[in-house]
Structure 1
Amino acid sequence: MFHVFGFFMLVRAVAVGETLVLMEKFDFEKMLRAVEKYRVTYMPVSPPLVVALAKSEVAGKYDLSSLEYLGCGGAPLGKEVSERFAARFPNVDIGQGYGLTETGGGAARHIGQDECKHYGSVGRLAENMEARIVDPVTGEALPPGQKGELWLRGPTVMKGYVGDDEATAATLDSEGWLKTGDLCYFDSDGFLYIVDRLKELIKYKAYQVPPAELEHLLQSHPDIADVAVIPYPDEEAGQIPMAYVVRKPGSNITEAQVMDFIAKQVAPYKKIRRVAFINSIPKSPAGKILRRELVNHALSGVSSRL
């Protein structure tokens, strides 16, 4: 409930008089049982849960026919995963949204079934919210279709961080624009797409590689249960993309097969150049990948298993 997404879902349920089913601690199969038992119609989820529902054989053992809508946020959800989920659950809409604690919750979201079909997008801007896409180097405002840092301004944006003037000055400019730190773009219809966190971009030679883009592609592979991509230091390139992969039960997918799968779909500078197989991807309670843990593990050179 500490996360702004979870908190607002709680407030929403109370405000409209819904019955709210709470789990003391998250467990995937217990969640499926709860959906079946209480005939849950709506669930707030993070992208890893959408991946699990789209791929898991366990999900097929439960009656999930009551589900009508998943509200997804907390991290980017790839088009490939959305399409796979839609193929398995054709009667369940996924509505994506985007927001920060600093924006007082949602800054963009899907409204209605038609907008939910814009897979990969987090929808259009919320009421009274302004946005601009800014070149992170020059500060120049960019047109639709070009990627840059998302800046937001509106009545729900915070006044600043309590007791931290330095952080406030670095995040809010003099005109009230909040620098989100997210690499994004708008399409010509006003739909917002989140590419990745600027600080998580992998610097390969003179190029920037978004880990989330590679993760979305790998999540579409039938032998991969979960994945995370991190930067790995390289003397020649500076950094190279490295994938931590969780195999599906019974899968024997190899390092070469993982790299070849990506190489066929991306530009040469985006190729996965190192692969490690682990039991699970470390994540925060909100479902975000804890990349720093994986980076530390990769650099430790130990054979310990996560």
Structure 2
Amino acid sequence: MQVSDAPFRHVDFPPVDLDIERRDDGTIVMTPAQPLEIGVPNVPTGLARQAAATPGKPHLRERDPDSGDWRTATFGDVKRAADGLTQWLIDRDLAGGGAMLIVSGNSIAHAVIRYGSMGAGVPVTPVSEAYALLGAKGDYQRLRHVVATVQPTVAFGETAAHVAALRAVLPEGVPVISREPDADGADYAAVTGTAPTDAVAASIDALTADTVGAYMLTSGSTGRSKAVIQTHGMIVANLFQGWQALGKAAGWDDVLLEWLPWSHVSGAFSSMAAAIFGGTFHIDEGKPVPGLFDATIRNLRDVELTYFTNVPAGYAMLVDALERDRDLAETFFRKLRLVLYGGAGLPQPVYDRLQRLAVDTVGHRIMLTTGYGATETTSGAMSIYFESDRVGIGLPMPGLSVKMVPIGDRYELRMKGPMVTPGYLGEDELNANIRDEEGFYKIGDTARFHDPDAPEKGLAFAGRLAEEFKLATGTWVSAGNMRMDLLRHLAPLVGDLLVCGENRDYVGILAWPSEAGLRSVAADPQAPLEQLLCDDGVLAAVREGLAAHNQAASGSSGRVVRFAFLADQPNAEAHEISDKGTVNQALAKHNRPEAIEALYADAPGAAVISMTGE
């Protein structure tokens, strides 16, 4: 059976029903006709509802670091511990001001700290563990910036290393809660064991839609991180729009497994969805990087899923593992109904390989969907909630209006809805410019219709405006769009790449190789990696992919003239790669001046592939 002929496993999506306004200047505004239905006023209330209905149901599970067995916290356990923290914050007059700074990986304790703080009206600010564990070499500059921005009145550091980082940056007198407290810290078990009073329920009842629930940090890819204000109303609006479009079909009230860090909005969203819709959330200690992904594979052998989410880098590693292991593939696909990937990044070849595996294993395709949005839209506010075999960013979910302003053959995206932030903490000047004259948030991305005559087929990502640059000729290069097309043509040879050429005469590419992909085409598949990079079979395949891309490109801004592999990998310590596995293009290029100069040398070395004249 051809993969394209195989049916999709049925997913009971809601109907696509769009109100579409077309204006004389070419602007289009799309709004789902289905109204947004929000079932709880805030996440602590949603958790309380689930704990009352199913107190003994497992809610959170994490691996014991010593035995490797799953440790379980029921909905009742999480609610009791969160209420203890809420009471502790109220008793110490820490509620109603400042913020709870959380330095921790994903864990049961991290979740309890979040829900207990939110219940007390204390906004949570979770930060990447890298700020603490990798930040000492730079005197914790990123962590110091966060402290100066959100001015925490209390903090949580799960381990002794987290506590040490917090002590280095927090003002004297700010209490630090930990499972491994220092002499001046507060013990997590004692804090969460505080006996709750009626003040806890009263505090939760007093939360309004405008009460700040979190300050979530942007990645800082174009400068220092900003603290995005996320209100309780924003958070539940985003969760329930996702539930209406995807969650009921996906099974967010069933069994979940995810690694995405809770310091990032995608990970925070999924864990809170499990809390208010009744899911059993398995905390995956793995990550989509060599070595750490083995933990994810172990967990996928243990936990059968109806719904799975990851980032493009994770799916590239997953399909490699599934192609090698039939038993793993059978476990993974047996109950699977829906797979979610990050909105702008999944290469079509990875999508195609995953579908081929699904058809070979269970006889049908699996619906792949997307969560597209930003920290400023709480999390993903657009998705693919209709049958499609195209990679894209989908359509707005209930409650969101998307304005599409024409730019050449694509559209700039702008968004309005109750899940969109009121602004950034302490950034009045910036806040004055993040919306257009009609109040639409300018997200900074562009898109195209898959089919302009059929908007219901969804949108395809067409690049970030901030990643575009000019050649020396004055011609604009859409780097994000070009990157996606090159990843398609260069699959499976390339894991990711940098589009270079700002103020140069032509576009050049620096690429991180995929070792498994290189071996699949190499003349000598057993050769060491450094030999694979100059293997005749590999170089011929690269030239073929570049030629196919160039043939379809229009103008100098779309054609690649030179290409070279990078010998290193993106440096997480230098913040070149985010917690969710995406590469910071600007920073990665800034950190590789010698590689760029070699790419553009008048007499390039043997490692540089030249496409001049093709």
- Asked if TM exceeds 0.5, the reply is yes
Match of 2:80 in 1: none
Partner Cα distance (2:494, 2:326) in 1: 18
C-alpha displacement at 1:98, in angstroms? Answer: 0.8
Say if 2:356 is the partner of 1:87.
yes
Stretch of structure 1 that moved more, 154-163 or 220-229 = 220-229
Partner Cα distance (1:97, 1:10) in 2: 15
Match of 1:224 in 2: 493
Match of 2:411 in 1: 148
Say if 2:391 is the partner of 1:125.
no
Partner Cα distance (1:47, 1:7) in 2: 18
C-alpha displacement at 1:259, in angstroms? Answer: 4.1
Match of 2:268 in 1: 7
Stretch of structure 1 that moved more, 271-280 or 10-19 = 271-280
Which aligned pairs between 1:112-261 and structure 2 lie closer than 5 A? Answer: 115-135=386-406, 146-186=409-449, 187=451, 188-190=454-456, 191-204=458-471, 205=473, 206-219=475-488, 221=490, 223-233=492-502, 235-237=504-506, 240-249=507-516, 250=519, 251=522, 252=532, 254=538, 257-261=541-545
Which letter does structure 2 place at the counterpart of 1:189?
Answer: P
Partner Cα distance (1:263, 1:25) in 2: 37
Give unpaired runs (5+ residues) of structure 2: 1-261, 360-364, 523-531, 572-576, 599-614
Which letter does structure 2 place at the counterpart of 1:87?
Answer: R
Match of 1:276 in 2: 565
CA offset digits 1:20-56 (Å, max 9, x no partner): 1113452212101101112233222111112222344
CA offset digits 1:204-256 (Å, max 9, x no partner): 4424233444345435645515121222345434xx23131314243435556
Partner Cα distance (1:64, 1:260) in 2: 31
Contact kept, 8 Å, 1:79 with 1:120, in 2: the verdict is yes
User: Which is greater in Rg?
Assistant: 2
DSSP-derived class of the 2:436 partner: coil
Contact kept, 8 Å, 2:345 with 2:484, in 1: the verdict is no
Alpha-carbon spacing, 1:104–1:49, altered in 2? closer, same or farther (3 Å): same
Partner Cα distance (1:236, 1:246) in 2: 25
Contact kept, 8 Å, 1:227 with 1:281, in 2: the verdict is no
Count of residue correspondences: 290
CA offset digits 1:129-181 (Å, max 9, x no partner): 11122246xxxxx8xxx412101111221111121112112211242110010
Q: CA RMSD in A?
A: 2.8
DSSP-derived class of the 2:340 partner: strand
Which letter does structure 2 place at the counterpart of 1:173?
Answer: D
Partner Cα distance (2:548, 2:593) in 1: 28
Partner Cα distance (1:59, 1:167) in 2: 50
**How high is the sequence identity, in percent, across the aligned residues?**
22
One of 298, 306, 314 as aligned partner of 1:49:
314
Partner Cα distance (1:233, 1:106) in 2: 31
Structure holding more strand per residue:
1
Say if 2:346 is the partner of 1:77.
yes
Give unpaired runs (5+ residues) of structure 1: 137-141
Contact kept, 8 Å, 2:509 with 2:564, in 1: the verdict is yes
Stretch of structure 1 that moved more, 228-237 or 149-158 = 228-237
Partner Cα distance (1:219, 1:165) in 2: 41
Partner Cα distance (2:481, 2:331) in 1: 31
Contact kept, 8 Å, 1:226 with 1:281, in 2: the verdict is no
CA offset digits 1:255-276 (Å, max 9, x no partner): 5642441222331532332322
